Chains A and B, each alone.
Chain A
Amino acid sequence: MSWAETLRTSLEAVRAHRMRSLLTMLGIVIGIASVILTVGLGQGAQKEVRDQIDALGRNLLIVSPGSTTDSSGVRGGFGSASTLDLDDATAISDETVAPDVADVAPVATSQAPVTVGDTNWTTQVSGTTTSWLGVRARTLASGRFFTQSEAESGASVVVLASDTAGELFDRGSPVGQTVRVGGTALTVVGVLEESGASSSGQSSEDDQAVVPLATAARLTGTSSTSLSTIYVEAGDSTTLSAAYQEVQALLLNLHGVGSDEADFTVSTQDSLVETANSTNETMTVLLTGVAAISLLVGGIGVMNIMLVSVSERVQEIGLRKALGATPSSIRRQFLLEASVLGLLGGLLGLGLGVVGALVLPSLIDQTVTVSPVAATGAVVTALALGIGFGVYPASRAARLTPIDALRSS
């Protein structure tokens, strides 16, 4: 019997026992759907992290105070003082010392209530320089950023992030209006465009008030020049690692410490992505493991039902053998039937997974990405399960003798 004929026979058998076939496939359907969803969730989360970190700015190095080493935990400054200050930022921006650094934006942040009339909104006040806008790859929705002279003089101007502007001003343009931080009145000169990072996580990117460094110091009533972060932009992606080395060496030198005593951390976007993903990956591996077990159970289900099907169809097998079916053609018939069940189960599972991927994001606020690779892999896996768990029932069927098979009635 040709393969085409055998396939036709197998398809007919699956169709003739619709309900049983459906129940047989159920395990595989659920298994494949859950594999697709877990892998999709993992990939979605990774993509989200990547997007958020990209939104921080391009070719960015982030220098933050303190460092974690294996032995001593977090190494911070004395008391609450930051280990980074404006001198560090100035040194990094020196072209002869760090030629691969394109621009530097020192940032000092503090939490403060901002008021407009009766409206009060506590937000992050970020003191920085005019470089900030370019380094962080941000744009303005309206108005302008503060100027170099405003920055130097510590003028009473502020640029609001989009969420902050929305909280403080119900309607009308905030530009030109006055907000108060503590006792100081600040003129709003501009509003930032949304950062592009999605709403979950990194929310502070769209909720902050950006002021010149000198103004920030005046608002918090300190003359300290300590910084919470220094953002460093490398010329392009090829000079990123060179810039990393330069910044690292320069700061170690300035602080007079060895590399194993560093009191600061230089991170790149990639290292941030990696850190974020390592958590996600653990979850994905775990969930995929669970899904794989459900697939295994589904496969055993196929084998179970195929064995039942073989013993139920003993007479059919006997008759086919009496009419000239060889053991190998009987084996092929049942193996193909199991493969058809596996393949159909895989396709149905893929369908269910895709539907889940479309519905789930609106329920749990999490992106689900179904990649073609994962989809193909899932269907191939289901087919392999069908074949793998069909081998034993098929050889049982092939071994039946025609006499015994015909006699059982």
Chain B
Amino acid sequence: MSAIIELSDVRKSYGTGNAEVHALRGVDARVDQGEYVAVVGPSGSGKSTLMHILGCLDLPTSGQFRLAGEDVSEMTEEQLADIRNRRIGFVFQQFHLLPTLSALRNVELPLVYAGVPRDVRRQRAAAALERVGLEHRTGHRPGELSGGQQQRVAVARALVTEPALVLADEPTGNLDSTSTQDVLGLLDDLHDSGRTIVLITHEHEVAARAGRSLVIDDGAIVSDVPSARAAAEVRS
């Protein structure tokens, strides 16, 4: 198995002097291709900071982060934009769809920045929407869709570039229980089809769907255990 994520002694601090805050105090972790990993922790534990670093939205203060073999630690802002575009599919708690664009246009957005020609883009975006079961909603704007449907559009957007890593940050935080099951089921399907998924959450029942849980507290990983589901699979 090749590693998608390799973190070695990753530290992140904000501010200087007395006001210095250590958000991450030396994190080592490895996620292999095809894994479904949950990062669990209470608020203020440093999981958001970790998510930013894993998403190449921010750089570690020290330590090394390799994403799919590429060392991210020293990249410029332009290079980070490029690696985000090629390697990562984001699913956010607030969906973050552009309200003026149709579902199809939202899904094709990452391909626009990748410079994919328009007709190819259309085709791939339509396929991604079909994958999440929204082929009949391609022309609808986010405002015309339910929360669950919006998050499925966001999942389609995360898939469309065939990224090495799908990074889901509290993807069910704004959803009712039915939609939550819906979206988690979608992530299960993705995992089953071989995608690498990192799910950040503070809910243990959500984390239970993942194969492995990284528990983070006070800026460090305090446990790295197989999830309940993995345990259940072992039992059965």
Contact = CB atoms under 8 A, between A and B. Distances in A.
Interface of A: 1-2, 5, 12-13, 16, 315-316, 318-329, 401-403, 406, 409
Interface of B: 52, 55, 57-58, 77-78, 81-82, 84-86, 90, 92, 94, 96, 98, 100-101, 109-110, 112-115, 157
A315 B101 CA distance: 14
Contacts of A315: 96
Contact of A322 (B57, B78, B112, B115): B57
Given A324-B81, A324-B84, A1 B115 contact: yes
Contacts of B86: 324
Contacts, number: 59
B16 to A, nearest CB: 18
Given A12-B100, A318-B96, A323-B110, 15 more contacts: A2-B115, A13-B100, A315-B96, A316-B98, A319-B96, A321-B81, A322-B84, A323-B84, A324-B85, A324-B114, A327-B81, A328-B78, A329-B113, A403-B52, A406-B92
A322 B114 contact: no
**Secondary structure of the B side of the interface?**
helix
A140 to B, nearest CB: 73
**Secondary structure of the A side of the interface?**
helix
A324 B110 contact: yes
A296 B52 CA distance: 42
Contacts of B82: 324, 326
Nearest to B113: A324
A325 B96 contact: no
Nearest to B109: A323
Given A324-B85, A326-B78, A1 B113 contact: yes
Contact of A325 (B55, B90, B101, B113): B113
Nearest to B98: A316
A323 B77 contact: no
Contacts of A324: 81-82, 84-86, 110, 113-114
A16 B55 CA distance: 30
Contacts of A402: 57
A258 B145 CA distance: 95
Contacts of A322: 55, 57, 84, 90, 96
A242 to B, nearest CB: 72
